[in-house]
Chains A and B, each alone.
Chain A
C-alpha cells in the first residue's frame, strides 16, 4: 500500500513526526479551512452582501427584552461555566453586549452572573463599554455584573436563587454549560421567564430543548455574533466555516465511495509482519488496507494491531550529546 501512495512532499531528514507518511494530510486540511475563513473575511470586507439564514433564537432576543421591559423585571445573562477565559466565553460576551445594548435603550435592568474572576473582570468592562457607547455611562450599575462562585453547584445554587428572588423575565444561558444546565432552565421555567439558551456541550442541548423556549444548537452559537452585528469580519468568517463544512461533507462522500469501491472491487497481495509490509496471498482488502484508512491514520495508534508502528529508519537516528553535556538530572544532582 505504501508504494501506491504519492511520495512524501519533502523526503528530507528534518521531516517531523507529524509529517511522517501521510501525516501531512490532517495539517493541510486544517490549513485549507483556515484559508477559507480568511478568504471570506476578505470577501466580506469588500462589501459583498453574504447571506445568513434565519436563526429563531436570535430573532427572539428583541421579543424577550421587550417582555422584560413591560414586566419591569431584569434580564439575566449567564456566560457559562468555562474554567477560564476562552473563545466560547468571548463569544457569549459579544452576544450579551448586543443584549445589553437593547436593554440599555429601554432602561431595563440587567444581571450578568460569572463563575470566574477573570470572566467577571472582562464582563464588567464589556458591559460598562456598552453603556458608555450608548451615551448613558451613569446607568451602568457595577453590581449588575456579579462573580458568584467558581464551584459548579455553588454557582448553580447562587444563580437559581437570583432567578427566584429577582423574578427575572428573560434569561440568556449561552456558553459552556454542564450538569447545572437543567437546574437553570427549570428554575427559570418555573417562574415563566422567556429563555434563550445554547451549550457548546452537545450532551446538555437536550436538557435546554426540553425546558427553554429557544435553543441555539451546535455552531449556531458561533454564528450568533455575526447574525446580530453583521460585522463583515464575522459574516465572512461564518461563510468560511460553511465552506469548511462543505469540504468535510465532500471528503466524507469521496471517502465512502473510494472505500466501498476498494473493499468490494480490488484485491490486495500484501500484509504486515513485524512492522514490515510483506507478500501475502491475494485477498479482499480489510478496512485498514484501504487508501482512506492509511491517509487518515498515518502512524499507527497505540491500539491498532493491524498496522504496527512505523519503525525508525537508520537515517532517523540522531547523534548523541558528548558525555559531559548529557544531563538526565540537573547539574547539582548529577554524579560528579
Chain B
C-alpha cells in the first residue's frame, strides 16, 4: 500500500486506501437505516430450513423434546432469533421441553430471559404463558460438553443426578424427572427430537455423541453453517443457519410449506402433493430476523461495493504505473 500523502496519490491508489473511519461510518449509517423504516424483503426458504420446520411441526402435541442451548447475548441476533422462533412454535403446539446447556454457564439464564420475553408476547395476545415445571424445565449447565454429551447419550436421568426444581404450585424442591415435562423420560430415545441451538463447536460435539441415538435438528450461527452443513441431512435432519435461516423460519411460520417434489402431480386444488406443512397465519410470527434481515442486505451490499472499489483501484493503479 502506498505511503504517499493522500493529496499526491493517484485515483487508483486513493481507491485502494479509503480510510477505515470512513468505511466504518458508512457501515454504521447503512445498517441503521432499517431502524427507521420497516422494509419487507422477499425470501425463498432453503431446503434445510424447511426440513427443520417440518421436523418440529411433526412432533406430536403434548410430547417433550430436549433442547441444548449454548448461546449467549453476543449472538442474540442469530441465536436469539432462532431460539425465540423455536419457542413460539413449541408453545403454539403445546410441546413441552427440557433445556440444558453444555457450553456456557451464562446460557441457562439467557434461556430463561428469552422464554420470559416470549411469554410476555403471548400474554399480550391473550394466550397463556409457559410455566416452569408444568410446561418446561431448566436442567442447568453441564461443563465440558464432551463428557456431558456422552453422559446424556448414555442415560438422560443419570446425567442430571439430583437436579431439583420447585413445582409451579410451590412447595419443597422435587426431582425434575418427577415433573410433568420429564416424567417417564430416561433415555434419549424417549424424546422424539433433540434441538441444539448454539454458536460454538458444541454443535459438532453433539453430533459426534448423539447421532443415531435420537432425531436431531440444529440451529447454528452463520459462521458454524459450513461446518454443520456437512452433517445435513443424515445426522442432522433439519438445519437453520444464521440470520437467513431465522428469516426462513419466520417466513415458514407465516405461510407454511407447500413445495413440489419434482415429478409429482397437482391435486384438485392446484397444489403439488409434495411437502405440505401448515403455518400460523394471523399470529405474531415476525421477530428478530424480520427486523434485522434488511440490515444484513445493506451490510452485504456495502461489503461487495468495498471489495469492488478496492479491486478497481488496484487495476487503475497498475494501469497508471504502467504508463
Residues of A within 8 A of B (CB): 83-84, 152-153, 176, 178-179, 201-204, 299-304
B212 touches A84 (CB 8 A): no
Which chain A positions have C-beta within 8 A of B237? 303
Question: A304 CA to B200 CA in the complex, in Å?
Answer: 27
Partner of A302, one of B213, B223, B224, B227: B213
Nearest-neighbor residue (CB-CB) of B210 within chain A? A302
Question: A153 CA to B103 CA in the complex, in Å?
Answer: 15
Question: A26 CA to B128 CA in the complex, in Å?
Answer: 49
List 8 tightest A-B contacts by C-beta distance, closest first: A301-B212, A302-B215, A203-B223, A303-B237, A203-B227, A303-B215, A302-B214, A153-B74
Which chain B positions have C-beta within 8 A of A303? 215-216, 233-235, 237
- What's the minimum C-beta distance from B145 to chain A, rounded to whole angstroms? 8
Given contacts A83-B103, A83-B143, A203-B227, contact A301 B211 (CB under 8 A): yes
- What's the minimum C-beta distance from A15 to chain B, rounded to whole angstroms? 18
A203 touches B224 (CB 8 A): yes
Given contacts A299-B212, A301-B235, A302-B215, contact A202 B74 (CB under 8 A): no
A178 touches B200 (CB 8 A): yes
Nearest-neighbor residue (CB-CB) of B211 within chain A? A301
Chain B interface bracket (under 10, 10 to 19, 20 to 34, 35 or more): 20 to 34
- What's the minimum C-beta distance from B159 to chain A, rounded to whole angstroms? 17
Given contacts A179-B223, A203-B227, contact A152 B144 (CB under 8 A): no
Which chain A positions have C-beta within 8 A of B212? 299-302
A-B contact count (CB 8 A): 42
Question: A202 CA to B227 CA in the complex, in Å?
Answer: 7
Which chain B positions have C-beta within 8 A of A299? 212
> Per-position contact with A for B197-237: 1 when CB-CB < 8 Å, else 0?
00111000000000111111000000110110000011101
Cβ of B189 within 8 Å of any chain A Cβ, yes or no, is yes
Interface of A is mostly: loop
Nearest-neighbor residue (CB-CB) of A328 within chain B? B186
Nearest-neighbor residue (CB-CB) of B235 within chain A? A301
A203 touches B143 (CB 8 A): no
Question: A300 CA to B75 CA in the complex, in Å?
Answer: 35
Between-chain CB contacts (< 8 Å), 18 pairs: A83-B143, A83-B144, A83-B145, A84-B143, A152-B74, A178-B200, A179-B75, A202-B227, A203-B227, A204-B223, A301-B235, A302-B212, A302-B215, A303-B215, A303-B233, A303-B234, A303-B235, A303-B237
- What's the minimum C-beta distance from A262 to chain B, rounded to whole angstroms? 19
Which residues of chain B in 142-163 are interfacial with respect to chain A, using CB atoms and an 8 Å cutoff? 143-145
Nearest-neighbor residue (CB-CB) of B193 within chain A? A302
- What's the minimum C-beta distance from B241 to chain A, rounded to whole angstroms? 12
Which chain A positions have C-beta within 8 A of B75? 179
Question: A152 CA to B74 CA in the complex, in Å?
Answer: 9
A302 touches B189 (CB 8 A): yes
Question: A301 CA to B211 CA in the complex, in Å?
Answer: 7
Which chain B positions have C-beta within 8 A of A203? 223-224, 226-227
Nearest-neighbor residue (CB-CB) of A152 within chain B? B74
Question: A300 CA to B215 CA in the complex, in Å?
Answer: 12
- What's the minimum C-beta distance from A207 to chain B, rounded to whole angstroms? 9
Nearest-neighbor residue (CB-CB) of A190 within chain B? B20
Question: A84 CA to B145 CA in the complex, in Å?
Answer: 10
Which residues of chain B in 65-107 are interfacial with respect to chain A, using CB atoms and an 8 Å cutoff? 74-75, 103
A179 touches B189 (CB 8 A): no
Which chain A positions have C-beta within 8 A of B199? 179
Nearest-neighbor residue (CB-CB) of B228 within chain A? A203
